[in-house]
Structure 1
């Protein structure tokens, strides 16, 4: 039952943000950029009894993932701005994201 509550409440938030984005694209983008998924995840992890250390590791993972996510979104934005097909733009974004994570891991290995 708890998983159904998580799914429905999370889907409702995404639905509301999407509806706002239809009417006010910039504000919808700002709302979508909010750490809604991260905060919801922290909330659900806490409610489910995860330890403080586990939640701390989760939030660190989110922080580590931010640069690649930014690169992905910039790639999608540039592709769409240049009138590329939506699916192709998303594909470019995913490739940018993947390459960013690989590069980030290589840099981290080098620094360690």
Structure 2
């Protein structure tokens, strides 16, 4: 039952944001950039009885993932701006995201940063 509630809630949010983005692309983008997924995830983890430590670790994972997500979005934006196809821009963005996360992981290991 809980899985279906999560799926329905998430689907409704995504559908609402994409419908808004069709009419108001800039505002749709701003709303899509809100930490809706992170906040929903924290909410559902809390409802499911996860510990504060688990939620803290999840939140740190979100923080660690933010720079790579910014890189992905920048690559997609720049490629679309230069008239590349959406598919190519998304693939390049995902590759850039993966490479950035890999470099970030190596840097964390090199400087002995643990979370």
The answer to whether the superposition gives a TM-score over 0.5 is: yes
Distance 1:109 1:50 in 2: 28
Please report the TM-score for the alignment, with normalisation by the length of structure 1: 0.98
Distance 1:42 1:107 in 2: 28
Q: Which runs of 4+ in 1 moved over 3 A?
A: none
Listed one character per residue, the Cα deviations across residues 22-64 of structure 1 (whole Å, up to 9, x for unaligned) are 0000000000000000000000000000000000000000000
Please report the TM-score for the alignment, with normalisation by the length of structure 2: 0.96
Instruction: Name 1:67's counterpart in structure 2.
Output: 67
Distance 2:5 2:107 in 1: 40
Please state whether the residue corresponding to 1:43 is helix, strand or coil.
Answer: helix
Please state whether the residue corresponding to 2:90 is helix, strand or coil.
Answer: helix
Instruction: Name 2:15's counterpart in structure 1.
Output: 15
Distance 2:4 2:49 in 1: 18
Distance 1:50 1:77 in 2: 37
Instruction: Name 2:103's counterpart in structure 1.
Output: 103
How many pairs were matched up? 112
Instruction: Name 1:27's counterpart in structure 2.
Output: 27
Could you say what the CA RMSD is over the residues aligned between the two structures, in angstroms? 0.5
* Per-residue deviation, 1:106: 1.2
